[in-house]
Chain A
Amino acid sequence: MSVDYLLQIIGPILEGAKNTILLFLIAIVLSIPLGFGITLLANSSIKLLSWLAHTFIYITRGTPLLLQLLFFCFGLPMLPIIGDYLVFDRFVAAGLAFILNYAAYFAEIFRGGLLSIDKGQHEAAQVLGLSKWQTMTKVIVPQMIRVALPSLANESITLVKDTALLYAVAVPELLHFAQTAVNRDFTITPFVLAGIIYLLMTLVLTLLFKGLERRFKFE
């Protein structure tokens, strides 16, 4: 494992890591609020909205992410009539699949968080004259976040690793570059390097969530 060789492959591998990180950031930033929105719909008193949200969660969690990726990248353009309008850049299509998939998981996490909050909290807010919105933003959501944080951390780390699925739809990312180098140079060094980069990313996330958990502790 020579230093020269490392220097030679680090450039392309970091190039791949850039796509991995970009997908991760886009997916996490958009799927968390979307997931929370879906939770609110699932809890809606309007039956149709609640049904739609639950159905979405069921379908998304009940089928493999890989299948969803293939569907968004290759399946959408084949749909009759509307297919022609659904030809996206491969990265965009994959990003959409990730956002929707993770939104469903986050929605379930938030739903669990909401259910864990004592009904006395809602009652106290009500008798103090807080509006529904104030109750949500000032009383319920801060407590829900605390409950949800450990699961959010878990899912985020899974997301880092799931970005490797981009490999299957031929969007160049970290694993893709490592694999190319392994095949070309007959050495496993690129795999080790890729593994280290994944570990670094999950380390950063772990530390970040530890910090957040400390901030949201009420004891």
Chain B
Amino acid sequence: MTMIEVQQLKKSFGDLEVLKGVNFTVEPGEVVAIIGPSGSGKSTMLRSLIHLEEVNSGSILFQGQALVENGKYANANTIKKITSRMGMVFQHFNLFPHLTVQQNLELAPKAVKKESVADIRKRSEVILNKVGLLDKANVLPANLSGGQKQRVAIARALMLNPDILLFDEPTSALDPELTGEVLRVMQQLAQEKITMVVVTHEMNFARDVADRVIFMDKGEIAESGTPAQIFGNPQLDRTKAFLSRVEK
């Protein structure tokens, strides 16, 4: 079943129309990269999917179930149930600074209380190991590099076994030499067929890892296709202009 279906999504901040009727779908196992100029509405669109922003009209269906349908939101329980199936990784990590790495991972699963503490502990170790940070389990976030912080943030999102992971410029706050370690983790997730929607300025990631690339401009999807289509043979002048600007 289609993972996410977005129809005619519109959103304004006051007089500023930020999303002007966005349509797209995400299939299970797919990695979708969203690229586009600053202010084109990429973050707003991504944040709407997980209900960090409320849209004015349009629909968002998650595995066929409506989060919002024609501008009307589902009840609080349904919203919570749907968004609990999603994970999100932020540009600025948003780790909890007063908790150790492992406590950051375990806070939500313990709060949700679906598993025993022992199971949660076991899984947090497996996942920390996977992102290469098991040795940092008892360290506070302030003592980590940016790349390590972002890997912890990814691990934290994975703890809830989400069906889809949303990334908003996960490497934009990092020093260039630290982006690689984060992108490698994301690439690994892609190989495990975890569904991902990634807003990114990393054209290499979009080209090499994404199954599909969406180019957003001025609040709408201007063009979308396989990386080969978008990077090799862009149809629109504004796509070409954007790509030549970021790939110089």
Contacts and interface: CB of A to CB of B under 8 A. Distances in A.
A binds B: yes
Interface residues of B, number: 27
B108 interface: yes
A186 interface: no
Nearest to A143: B98
Given A120-B92, A126-B52, A129-B80, A218 B140 contact: yes
A46 interface: no
A120 B149 CA distance: 14
A124 B94 contact: yes
A180 B90 CA distance: 65
B98 A129 contact: no
Contacts of B92: 118, 120
Interface stretch (B7-15, B81-89, B211-219, B220-228): B81-89
Nearest to A124: B94
A128 interface: yes
A123 interface: yes
B76 to A, nearest CB: 11
A127 B112 CA distance: 12
B96 A127 contact: no
B127 to A, nearest CB: 14
B140 A118 contact: no
A24 B98 CA distance: 30
Contact of A127 (B83, B140, B142): B83
A4 interface: no
Contacts of A143: 96-98
Given A128-B108, A134-B111, A139 B96 contact: yes
Nearest to B81: A129
Contacts of B83: 127, 129
B140 A219 contact: yes
- Chain B CB within 10 Å — which of A120, A123, A128 has the most? A128
Nearest to B86: A127
A129 B142 contact: no
B142 A218 contact: yes
B84 A129 contact: yes
Contacts of A120: 90, 92, 94
A123 B142 contact: no
Contacts of B143: 219
B97 A128 contact: no
Contacts of A218: 97-98, 140-142
A129 B79 CA distance: 11
B151 interface: no
Interface of A: 118, 120-121, 123-124, 126-131, 134, 138-139, 142-143, 146, 216, 218-219
